[in-house]
Amino acid sequence: MFMLRPIQQADLDDFVTLVGRADYGLTSLPKDRDLLRLRIDRSVASMAARPLPRSESSYLFVLIDSERSGLAGCCGCYGQVGGDVPYFAYEVDTITIGASIGMSRSLRVLNVIERHHGPAMLGSLLLDPGFRGRGVGRFLSLTRMLFLADHPLRFDSHVIAELRGWLDANGSSPFWEAVGRHFFRMSLPEADLHTHTIDGFVQHLLPRQPIFVDMLPADAQRVIGAVYSSTQPAMDILKDEGFVLTPWLDPFEAGPVVRAEVERLRTVRTSRIARIVALQDEEIAGPALMVSNRERERVLDYRVVMSPVIETRARRSADSAMHGKQDDEHDDALDGEVRLTTAAATALKVGIGDRVRIADLATSRRQVAVLDATEES
């Protein structure tokens, strides 16, 4: 059984091993033990009953396989980008010149945007290659949508995700070589590392002047908005959830940024609150669903499992169904009843009478088969 839980300090060794297996471009998870320890500490602090301010909160989760030791993967989310250190991106714009003389020309321009109070953000999605298959990558990505649904007050009402930009076989970015290297005067891996070690690193070194795309080398132009080879499945998962492309780009690799309204995410909209009415030792036949324990007081005990269930949905009027999706973290409408396996209930730390949140893992057989190789910035 696969189970997701918040990361703990005791996970450091396994976390370092997991991140060490990642290839190029995982900006938010540097291959540095001390920096990874700080990521864990910040996540643990964010999970407190009285959380950090949204702009300081960073939630990190790990994926556990009950049949194997170590970590199968990790994922994360941020309450809000910006704050004292603003969020930066390039924004693609088009300007027109020459119209007044009948020689109109359209030019693409990259403008720097700066946000002190931005949206929430998903990130740090990494699945050990040995666990790809059976929809595990999709589960790992979508558990964050359940966490947003269970803890809406901890996040901005909109959420973005930065997808890894295009890199060659050596981990080199044509866009970085054509743009960023001239300003930062270092390699892309060095710049990624300094975003974690120097406050205001991007803020002080990224020029605010616009960049005309036509003045860049052809290989740099081609990769603007393109994703890394193993990132396309992650993009497809997010689009299926309702994320759409924005004109924003990562300022280092020019990877795309996607955006959605949290309450309109597919998993958030279609998830159900159900009361546990029975447990059984025998396995349950049927497709695996996502089940969270909805833990809100002791957030470090938050759990999500990937498991079949027997669900009985309540019959409600259209009016009550509409109000049932309003979640203020205190009073949720009940959508039905559910029977779990004893193993799933044990992993979730729940029992008969408790309420859980249930969500469909896949919308089609094709997505279960394809959307597994998942990596984000």
Q: Which residue has the higher pLDDT, 371 or 188?
A: 188
pLDDT band at 332 (very low <50, low <70, confident <90, very high): low
Q: For residue range 209-220, what is the model confidence (pLDDT) as tens digits?
A: 999 999 999 999
- 82, 58 contact by CB (below 8 A): no
Q: What is the pLDDT of residue 231?
A: 85
> Cα(122)–Cα(240) distance, rounded to whole angstroms?
15
**Per-residue burial over 289-320, b = 16 or more CB atoms within 10 Å of its CB, e = otherwise:** bbbbbbbeeebeebbbbbbbbebeebeeeeee
- 317, 15 contact by CB (below 8 A): no
pTM (two decimals): 0.89
Q: Check whether 151 has a pLDDT greater than 90.
A: yes
Q: Which residue has the higher pLDDT, 231 or 372?
A: 231
Q: Report the 10 Å Cβ neighbour count for 129.
A: 13
Residue whose C-alpha is closest to residue 70's, from 13, 146, 4: 13
CATH 2.40.40.20 for domain 270-365, yes or no, is: yes
DSSP class of residue 200 equals T
Q: What is the pLDDT of residue 364?
A: 45
Residue 77's DSSP bridge partners are 59, 122
Q: Report the 10 Å Cβ neighbour count for 274.
A: 24
Q: Check whether 133 has a pLDDT greater than 90.
A: no
> Which range (152-156, 176-180, 323-327) has the least confidence?
323-327
Q: For residue range 243-285, what is the model confidence (pLDDT) as tens digits?
A: 999 999 999 999 999 999 999 999 999 999 999 999 999 999 9
DSSP string, 267-287: HHHH-EEEEEEEEESSPPPS-
Domain ranges of the chain: 2-266, 270-365
Q: Check whether 162 has a pLDDT greater than 80.
A: yes
Two tokens, residue 85: 């250190």
Look up the CATH superfamily of 2-266.
Answer: Gcn5-related N-acetyltransferase (GNAT) (3.40.630.30)
Length of the chain: 377
Average pLDDT, the chain: 90
* Planar angle of CA 106, 108, 111, nearest 5 degrees: 135
Percent with pLDDT over 90 in the chain: 77
* Planar angle of CA 214, 219, 221, nearest 5 degrees: 35
Q: Check whether 324 has a pLDDT greater than 50.
A: no
Q: Check whether 320 has a pLDDT greater than 50.
A: no
Q: Which residue has the higher pLDDT, 315 or 2?
A: 2
Side chain identity at residue 47, one-letter code: M
Two tokens, residue 195: 């975003």
